[in-house]
């Protein structure tokens, strides 16, 4: 996966964070530089200059750059916060650069609050897949080491999310009887580690006897609410599950952990949700429906095999392409509820 970190920095804070991340994840850097001669005001004047740039809605000229964002899989874009929004240099970059159907992560540095900075950037970059966001309060002035470590961890988590869930090769395996046994063994470990009011269910294609599937055991833990799910994270980490908080940027009502991506045939995805959520009820209905409707299960297998060929190296595209079939099944649940 190729990653490009695009940033503008006036006082050095954004540059510090960008370079820290680049070293951590081996990313390329693209620093946006203005052509104007008066771009380095000192002291308080820099705030007046920055505010004037923002409120004038100016598109300052940028020096040419030699990196094409379209050549990269993931773009991490950083900005200082000026007048509660992003720097005008980014305004020029967004206006003059084609950025669509990309994986995007955002960060900003500020001296008193991020305002609507990241939301405004998302609005401009709407036709993309957002992987996460983070903000830093004066990283060069206060707790620099702690903020450097925070940037390192966030960059790793963002790339991990992309690597594990969006960029992996789609591999469909014939059904294996051991999948149910693997779930049962894992369920026992989870219940031993987590001494809470939880329900553990096997979901996904490996939970449906006879169905070909990606060899990943999907496990759903139902809790009373998300606060209880958060409490369960630490006990699950004691049995080698890794918590991926960046997952919540896309799915805030779910807590995601995984274990064993580097162990052949021992990969587990764990989804914690509230038991009154649509996610909980939809996944149980879909699983049970395919377990009891053989022909529908076979139709789903044919679809999965066809899509695996079409989206061989794009798990995200593969999952999206299955959604129409899944939604058609879930409509049956809705009809039953209204009868």
pLDDT value of position 312: 79
Do strands 199-203 and 216-223 pair parallel, antiparallel, or not at all (unpaired)? antiparallel
C-alpha–C-alpha distance, residues 205 and 114, integer Å: 42
Note the pLDDT of residue 264: 54
pLDDT at 304 (0 to 100): 95
Residue 226 burial class via C-beta count within 10 angstroms: exposed 0-12, middle 13-18, buried 19 and up = middle
* CA neighbor of 268 nearest in space, from 229, 307, 240, 308: 240
Structure tokens at 118: 């990241």
Cα separation, 129 vs 116, whole angstroms: 19
CATH 3.40.50.360 fits 3-165, yes or no: yes
3-state secondary structure of 135: strand
Low-confidence ranges of the chain (pLDDT < 70): 1, 36-57, 160-168, 261-266, 313-314, 316, 337-339
CB atoms near residue 201 (< 10 Å): 17
> Where in the sequence of the chain do the CATH 3.30.460.10 domains occur?
177-337
Q: What pLDDT, on the 0 to 100 scale, is given for residue 130?
A: 83
Reference 319, options 105, 131, 170, 164; nearest CA is 170
CATH code at 177-337: 3.30.460.10
In the prediction, which pLDDT does 45 show?
Answer: 53
Q: 21 phi and psi, to 5 degrees?
A: -65, -45
């Amino acid at each position: 996966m190729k990653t490009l970190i695009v940033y503008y920095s006036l006082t050095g804070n954004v540059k510090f964070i960008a370079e820290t991340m680049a070293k951590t994840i081996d990313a390329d850097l693209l620093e946006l530089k203005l052509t104007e001669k008066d771009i380095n005001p000192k002291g308080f004047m820099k705030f007046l200059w920055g505010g004037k740039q923002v409120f004038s809605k100016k598109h300052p000229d940028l020096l040419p750059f030699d990196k094409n964002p379209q050549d990269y899989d993931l773009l991490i874009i950083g900005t200082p916060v000026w007048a509660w929004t992003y720097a005008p240099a980014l305004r020029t970059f967004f206006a003059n650069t084609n950025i669509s159907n990309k994986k995007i992560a955002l960060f900003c540095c500020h001296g008193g609050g991020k305002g609507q900075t990241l939301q405004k950037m998302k609005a401009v970059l709407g036709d993309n897949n957002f992987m996460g966001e983070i903000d830093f309060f004066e990283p060069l002035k206060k707790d620099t080491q702690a903020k450097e470590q925070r940037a390192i961890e966030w960059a790793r988590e963002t790339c991990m999310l992309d690597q594990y869930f969006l960029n992996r090769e789609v591999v469909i395996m014939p059904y294996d009887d051991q999948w149910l046994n693997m779930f049962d063994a894992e369920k026992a470990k989870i219940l031993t580690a987590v001494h809470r009011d939880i329900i553990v269910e096997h979901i996904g294609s490996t939970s449906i006897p006879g169905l070909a599937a990606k060899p990943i055991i999907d496990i759903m833990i139902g809790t009373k609410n998300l606060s209880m799910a958060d409490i369960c994270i630490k006990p699950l980490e004691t049995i080698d599950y890794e918590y991926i908080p960046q997952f919540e940027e896309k799915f805030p009502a779910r807590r995601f952990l995984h274990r064993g991506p580097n162990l052949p045939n021992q990969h587990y995805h764990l989804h914690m949700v509230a038991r009154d959520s649509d996610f909980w009820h939809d996944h149980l209905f879909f699983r049970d429906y395919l377990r009891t409707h053989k022909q529908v299960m076979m139709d789903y297998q044919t679809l999965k095999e066809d899509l695996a060929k079409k989206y061989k190296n794009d798990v995200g595209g593969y999952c999206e392409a299955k959604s129409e079939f899944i939604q058609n099944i879930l409509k049956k649940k809705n009809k039953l509820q209204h009868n």
